[in-house]
Amino acid sequence: MTETAAVTDTPAARPTPKLPDSAKVLSVKHWTDKLFSFRVERPQSLRFRSGEFVMIGLMQDPDPKTGKQKPLLRAYSIASPNWDEEMEFYSIKVQDGPLTSRLQHIQPGDEIILRPKPVGTLVTDALLPGKRLWMFATGTGIAPFASLIRDPEVYEKFEEVILMHTCREVGELEYGRQLVEDVNADEMLSEIVNGKLRYYPTTTREDFHKMGRVTDNLSSGKVFKDLGIEPMNPEMDRGMVCGNLAFNKDIMVILDGFGLREGANSDPKEYVVEKAFVD
Ligand SMILES: Cc1cc2nc3c(=O)[nH]c(=O)nc-3n(C[C@H](O)[C@H](O)[C@H](O)COP(=O)(O)OP(=O)(O)OC[C@H]3O[C@@H](n4cnc5c(N)ncnc54)[C@H](O)[C@@H]3O)c2cc1C
Ligand SMILES: NC(=O)c1ccc[n+]([C@@H]2O[C@H](COP(=O)([O-])OP(=O)(O)OC[C@H]3O[C@@H](n4cnc5c(N)ncnc54)[C@H](OP(=O)(O)O)[C@@H]3O)[C@@H](O)[C@H]2O)c1
């Protein structure tokens, strides 16, 4: 299919004028009626650290008076690892969301805007050396960890990597479940991961074999018991948090309670936090 032929009359696919920051969509996968992932061509010069985010978007409709088009951009975690030749994103579909009401209709061959300025705190450089790396995510907050759990450097730096992901419903866990399965099945990655990746998915509003909020499972000690490990301590454990604002606030109190301190790129400590979206 040619690039022109792929530009259909779907709302998202209104032709994006050729921009220096455009990236061609290679594939799209819909996971639920509210979640999808897609892969785009990676600009050759774009370097990033696994866990960082960039601004992506589409052109707005032309101004009726001037005919001019402005870009509509949103922050997105890069879900692919830094060695990948393509870039992957994992996205919510907000019904009336200015960007995602259109972005959810992208098709292979369409172009999106991708500003090549990666930033973010969910990087291993912002953490002091430790033995266990915990990744705490709700909803699409798993996106930066989709990048990190595919990065060999993470397993060189940590003896154990524990991914806790909580969603309302079972179907919303599928992207993460398949990702972990793929990591463990990948010929090269599985050798590096070598059983170090532990996955702890839970739901809160639909029956599943493991249930409960990340925060409750940490406070009650259930997750430590289930995994057969010692509770968290600041000598051994490092954390990365990505969820809604209330979740981030609640889990910070818990991590502080275990004696861990929040760090940043400029001041590495025991855990780092990023919002999965702005409410
Ligand atoms: C640092 C950072 C990284 C982000 N990374 C991602 C990502 O990897 N994937 C992603 O889907 N979104 C991500 N977001 C959110 C993203 O920037 C947009 O808000 C989202 O794409 C919706 O855009 P919109 O224009 O359709 O609606 P907006 O006007 O931006 O949002 C409308 C409302 O939808 C809800 N909402 C927005 N995003 C989400 C979400 N991800 N999950 C649940 N509810 C949401 C909120 O209630 C918000 O007020 C990130 C945000 C930040 C700050
Ligand atoms: N996903 C849906 O089916 C759905 C349906 C209607 C509307 N929406 C709207 O879409 C937006 C995002 O929904 P979402 O489901 O992706 O994300 P979300 O509301 O952030 O929920 C994701 C997961 O995080 C948990 N959580 C929320 N606050 C928490 C906290 N303070 N501490 C610990 N865990 C917490 C939720 O548990 P709890 O279930 O216990 O809250 C849920 O399991 C919200 O604004 C929501 O109102 C979503």
- Residues 158 and 81 reside in one and the same domain: no
* Among 85, 118, 151, residue at a domain's last position: 118
Index of the ligand 1 atom closest to the CA of residue 77: 8
Q: Give me the CATH number covering residue 269.
A: 3.40.50.80
Same-domain check for residues 67 and 138 = no
Residues 105 and 224 in one domain: no
- Looking at the structure, tell me whether residues 7 and 105 fall in a common domain: yes
Count of domains for the chain: 2
Together in a domain, 253 and 161: yes
Same domain, 163 and 244: yes
Whole-number Cα distances in Å, 246 to 144, 211, 250, 277, 278: 19, 19, 6, 11, 11
* Strand order through the sheet with 132-138: 197-203, 160-167, 132-138, 237-243, 271-275
Asked if residue 140 and residue 244 are part of one domain, the reply reads: yes
Instruction: With beta carbons less than 8 A apart as the criterion, state whether 96 and 49 touch.
Output: no
Instruction: Say whether both 210 and 92 belong to one domain.
Output: no
Judge if the beta carbon of residue 91 lies within 6 A of ligand 2: no
**Ligand 1 mutation target, pool 166, 277, 279, most atoms within 8 A of CB:** 277
What are the pLDDT tens digits along the chain (279 aa)?
Answer: 333 333 344 555 555 556 669 999 999 999 999 999 999 999 999 999 999 999 999 999 889 999 988 999 999 999 999 999 999 999 999 999 999 999 999 999 999 999 999 999 999 999 999 999 999 999 999 999 999 999 999 999 999 999 999 999 999 999 999 999 999 999 999 999 999 999 999 999 999 999 999 999 999 999 999 999 999 999 999 999 999 999 999 999 999 999 999 999 999 999 999 999 998
Give residue 87's domain range: 3-118
Q: Concatenate the DSSP letters of all residues of 177-219 into one string.
A: HHHHHHHHH-HHHHHHHTT-EEEEEEESSS--SSBS-HHHHHH
Position 12 scores a pLDDT of 55
Residues 109 and 238 in one domain: no
- Give the nearest ligand 2 atom to 279 CA: 45
| 131 and 114 part of one domain | no
pLDDT at res. 9: 45
Domain closes at, from 73, 89, 118: 118
> What pLDDT is attached to residue 3?
35
Distance 110 CA to ligand 2 centre (A): 31
**Whole-number pLDDT of residue 8:** 42
Q: What's the pTM?
A: 0.93
